[in-house]
Amino acid sequence: MNGTTVLRYALGALGLVLIGVGAGQLALVPEAGAVALWLAGALVLHDAVIAPLVLAAGLLVAAAPARGVLRGALVTGGALVLITLPLLVRPGAPPNPSALPLPYVRNLLLVLAAVALAALLLTAVGAWRRRARERGEERQERGKGDDGGGERDKRDEGDEGDEGGERGEDDGG
């Protein structure tokens, strides 16, 4: 076993210890049976309801033009709806006048409208830039041979993909 493998097993063992600590704590909670039921419910809710819905939305988006922006808008809108949903469907009056004090339906619609507007703008900017690039290419075609560097620029830009306003290599972290 080399060092990395030892570290890996140690990490896994530590994980098992923490799981054991949590299970021990959970066993002390009165109504532990109900907790187990709700945990199973969480798994089913995700795997059988939320995930298929999101997948279906993803399949629809796949067919759309400018899908990068559309997908970003849907993920953002979906996230905003999800975190607001408990405020909207919570039964009963708010626990006190300073809790849940905002007009959440109006605010959610406002924020969603802002997301839609941003998506439209991004799409328009992307289309405009694509057209500008194509026009630039035409001009270069006409003035071919003037400038060797222009050819290289064009090729670099072409590799960027066609999403508007998204530049640079993303290392994800």
- Stretch 95-114 residues interacting with another protein (CB under 8 A): 95-102, 104, 107-108, 110-111
Other C-beta atoms closer than 10 Å to the C-beta of 73 total 20
Of the two residues 9 and 128, which places its CB atom closer to another protein in the complex? 9
In terms of Cβ atoms closer than 10 Å to its own Cβ (0-12, 13-18, 19+), residue 102 is: exposed
# residues contacting another protein (CB under 8 A) = 80
Scanning 75-83, 132-140, 142-150 for contacts with another protein by CB under 8 A, the matching segment is: 75-83
Smallest gap from residue 46 Cβ to another protein (A): 5
Q: Does 149 bind another protein (CB under 8 A)?
A: no
In terms of Cβ atoms closer than 10 Å to its own Cβ (0-12, 13-18, 19+), residue 69 is: buried
* Residue 135, SS3 per DSSP: helix
Of the two residues 79 and 144, which places its CB atom closer to another protein in the complex? 79
Please report, as residue ranges, which positions from 4 to 43 form the binding site for another protein (by CB under 8 A): 4, 8-9, 11-12, 14-23, 25-26, 28-32, 34-35, 38-40, 42-43
Smallest gap from residue 12 Cβ to another protein (A): 3
Interface mask toward another protein for 54-73; x: CB under 8 A: xx--xx--x-----xx-xxx
Query: Which are the contacts of 66, defined by CB distance < 8 A and separation ≥ 6?
Result: 123, 126, 127, 163, 164
User: Which of 124, 134, 125 is closest to 154 using CA atoms?
Assistant: 134
Smallest gap from residue 127 Cβ to another protein (A): 15
| Contact predicate 84/104, CB 8 Å | yes
Smallest gap from residue 77 Cβ to another protein (A): 8
Tell me how far apart the terminal alpha carbons of the chain are, to the nearest angstrom. Answer: 30
